[in-house]
Amino acid sequence: MSTGESQPSRLTLETLQALSVSQAREWVERSGHDPELWALLEQDPRLGVRRLGVRSRQAWQRQEAEQARLNRLVELEGRWWSRGVEWVAGVDEVGRGCLAGPVVAAAVILRPGTWFPGLDDSKKLPPEKRERLAAEILGAAQAVGIGQVEAGEIDQLDILQASLKAMRLALAQLPIPPQQVLVDGNQRPGSPYPETTVIEGDSRSLSIAAASVVAKVHRDRLMVAYELQFPGYGFAGHKGYGSPQHLEALAALGPCVLHRYSFGPVARTRRASASFAVFREGLESCREGAELERFAHYIREGAGELLPGELEELRGLYRRRRQVLGGAGRRGEAEAAAYLSQRGYEILACGYRGAGGELDLVARQGECLVFVEVKSGAAGGLGHPEERVDAAKRDHLVRVARHYCQHHQVEGRECRFDVLAVVFGQGEPQITHLIDAFQA
C-alpha cells in the first residue's frame, strides 16, 4: 500500500500485511491503548511486526504499573489533604550506613495534587534521574528544610540518635510549620509537630520519597566537594560508604576528620594512641560506679594525649558502662534470663567470668549450648544491639566461651552466640532476641 493511498479505518490481518513495518508503527502510535491491535500485530508472519505488538503491549503495561505505583505513593498525603490538612511534611535521612561524612535529612512539604513521574526511593534511582527530580522537587515544593549532623557528633550520640536529630533540624528549617509529619522508619524524631511513622516510607509516601531524593542529592554534592579537601579517599565515588576502595584508602591513610571513629571498620584501621588503649581497658574493667567515676577523672586529666575522635569514643563507652553499673545491666540480664526460661531455655550460668572477661548468660536449648550477650538501656538511647557487638567484642565473647567449654567438659557440643537487647521505657521492657547473631 503506497503512502498516497488512504488506510482502512480498522485493521484486519489481511490489511495489516499490506502495510510496511514503519506504517504499522505509525498506526500503533495513533491508536494508543488497543489490546485488539496488539493481538493482531502478534499474529503477523513478519518478526518486526510481531515485536512491535509485544513491545507496545509491554510499554502500556509499564505505564499502567507506574501509574498505579504513583497512585499508591500519594495515598497517605491524599488522606490528610482530603481532611483540609495542607502542610504535610515528609522527612527522611541518608548516610546512616556510611563510614564517613554527615548524616543528612530533608523535610519536604508538597502542594496538594503534586505529581513527580518516576519519583521513587532515592536508592533505586540513577544519579542523573535523582538530580533531575531534586531540581523539580525544589521548584515545586511549598517548603524544603535540610538538617545534618557531622561525624564527630555521630560518634557522641550514636547513629540512630544522630539520624533523629538531623530530622529534627530539617523540620526546624522549614519556613512553614507542618501540620503533620510523615517519618520514614519506625522511630519518631521528637519534633514539636504531630508525627506518624511509615515503614518503608520512601516507597509508600510521595513527600517522604521527595525528601529522600533531596537529602541524597544534597549529601552526594557535599561528598564530592570533600574529595578536593581530603584527596586519596575517593569520596566523590563511594560517598563515604564502605566500598573496597574506601577500605583500602583507610588502611593506607588512616581516618580523617570526616570519619566516624565509633564505626567498627574505621576503629579497626585507626592508629590508636597508647593512652586510648589504656583508658578503654580501664573503663571496661570498672565494676562499681565510684570506680568508674574515679577513672573518668583520670581520662579528663589525660585527654591531651588522645588523638582526634578518641575522647568521643571513650565518652560513649563511659556512658554505656555507667548505665550497666547503675543497674540497667543487672535488670536487663534478669529480664533476659526470664525471657529465655519462658521459652524453654535452661539457664546454666549468669555473669560467668573467665579468660579476663564475662558472659552475661549461658543457657541450653535442647542439645545446643547458647552464650548470650545482653544489651540494656533506656528507650531510644542505645541503637541496634548488633551495632554494639563489634569485632573486638565478638572476639572477647568467643575467648570467654572457650574458657567455659574447657572448664565444664562440654567441648565438641553444638554452640551458638545470641544477642538480647532489653530496652526499658514505659510499661514492659521491650526485648529483641537475635539468634545466632555471629559465628565464632
- pLDDT, one tens digit per residue, over 173-216 is 999 999 999 999 889 999 999 999 998 888 889 999 999 999 99
CA angle at 164 for the pair 316 and 195, rounded to the nearest 5°: 145
For residue 147, what are the β-bridge partners?
105
Please give the Cα distance from 113 to 244 (Å, whole number). Answer: 43
Q: Residue 3: is its pLDDT beyond 50?
A: no
Q: What is the mean pLDDT of the chain?
A: 85
Grid cell at residue 163: 539520624
Q: Which of 14-23, 143-152, 294-303 has the lowest mean pLDDT?
A: 14-23
Q: Which of 25-34, 93-102, 222-231 has the lowest mean pLDDT?
A: 25-34
Q: Residue 22: is its pLDDT beyond 90?
A: no
Q: Are 376 and 424 in contact (CB under 8 A)?
A: yes
- Tell me the mean pLDDT in the region 232-237: 95
| pLDDT level of residue 379 (50, 70, 90 thresholds) | low
Maximum mean pLDDT: which of 111-120, 254-263, 264-273, 378-387: 254-263
Structure confidence by residue, pLDDT tens digits, 341-360: 999 999 999 988 887 778 99
Strands 357-365 and 368-378: antiparallel
Q: Which residue has the higher pLDDT, 192 or 296?
A: 192
State the CB neighbour count (10 A cutoff) for residue 28: 18
Q: Tally the residues of the chain.
A: 440
Strands 346-354 and 357-365: antiparallel
pLDDT of residue 272: 72
Q: Residue 139: is its pLDDT beyond 80?
A: yes
- Tell me the mean pLDDT in the region 143-166: 93
Sign of CA dihedral 15, 18, 24, 30: negative
Grid cell at residue 197: 511513622
Grid cell at residue 402: 572457650
Grid cell at residue 94: 541518608
Grid cell at residue 323: 548505665
Domains of the chain: 13-68 (no CATH), 75-229 (3.30.420.10), 329-438 (3.40.1350.10)
Please give the Cα distance from 437 to 385 (Å, whole number). Answer: 10
Please give the Cα distance from 406 to 389 (Å, whole number). Answer: 24
Q: Which residue has the higher pLDDT, 383 or 225?
A: 225
Grid cell at residue 44: 503477523
Q: Are 208 and 178 in contact (CB under 8 A)?
A: no
- Helix ranges, 20-74 (H): 21-31, 35-41, 47-73
Q: Which residue has the higher pLDDT, 282 or 102?
A: 102
